Amino acid sequence: MTTLAVCAEEDILAALATVTDPELDEPITELGFVRSVMLDDDGVTVHLRLPTAFCSPNFAYLMAADAQDALRLVEHIGRVRVLLDDHHDSDKINAGLAADAGYLGTFGSEAEESLSELRRIFLRKAHAAAMERCVEAHLKRTELGVNEIYKLTLSDLPPGKDKAALLRRRISIGLSICPASRVFVDDEGRVIAREAVPMRLRFAKSVRISMEGNAHFCRGLLATRYADSDPAGATPRITDIRTTRSPQ
């Protein structure tokens, strides 16, 4: 027995909440993808689940690996085990995670390339959706016209959930968060030309609607899949069998 695993349950859930579904850009904790958390004197074991058994192995591995990495940053957590349940590649993914084999090491010849580019694509989509939310909200609050969006700066946006999300997405793809930075930019941080703003705004809106629609669909599939044996709520089952607890 070790005395290392004395972290708080709240720290475990907070770490898992930093992990997002790459396609939906929502925390796996809010999507109901965290099935259970068990803490013992050696560490923590987390079980993940997905809406279907055939969800993309790329996404499945990415979320499970991100969860494992996030948990390992928690102080005094001890041993970390992340297991993916009920997926057609569960055995392969779980073995790869346990061996710290990485994506290429886990899937071998089935993996065409690393996940870096895939992650980058979805981070950019998440940025486009966050940018559109902020712009549309600003248009509703003010008399600013669509053709004037190109002048909008981060300092013009009021504090709040939407702005905080936008700033996080900008950081994730390497864009400036200086208050004087323009809000409506492309993936490289270049300001969108005035005449191109309407088209770009429609594109960003389509990305946001697609992500929100897919998230709703996934929640429905998850609830249906686990309706009988394991209700798919947002709160995971937590079991704590430690004899040594976190200090109060």
Q: How many CA atoms lie within 13 A of 228 on its CB side?
A: 1
pLDDT at 1 over 50: no
> Tell me: the pLDDT tens digits for 100-119?
999 989 998 887 667 888 88
Residue 48 pLDDT class (50, 70, 90 cuts): very high
Classified by CATH at the fold level, domain 9-114+221-240 comes out as: GMP Synthetase; Chain A, domain 3 (3.30.300)
Residue 47: other Cβ atoms inside 10 A: 17
138-164 mean pLDDT: 92
pLDDT at 228 over 80: no
Domain coordinates of the chain in residue numbers?
A: 9-114+221-240, 116-192
Task: Provide the mean pLDDT of the chain.
Answer: 91
42-51 mean pLDDT: 96
Residue 3 pLDDT class (50, 70, 90 cuts): very low
- State the pLDDT at residue 80: 97
Q: What is the model's pTM? A: 0.88
- State the pLDDT at residue 197: 93
Tokens of 93: 């993914």
What is the dihedral sign for C-alpha 66, 69, 74, 80? positive
> Tell me: the pLDDT tens digits for 195-207?
999 999 999 999 9
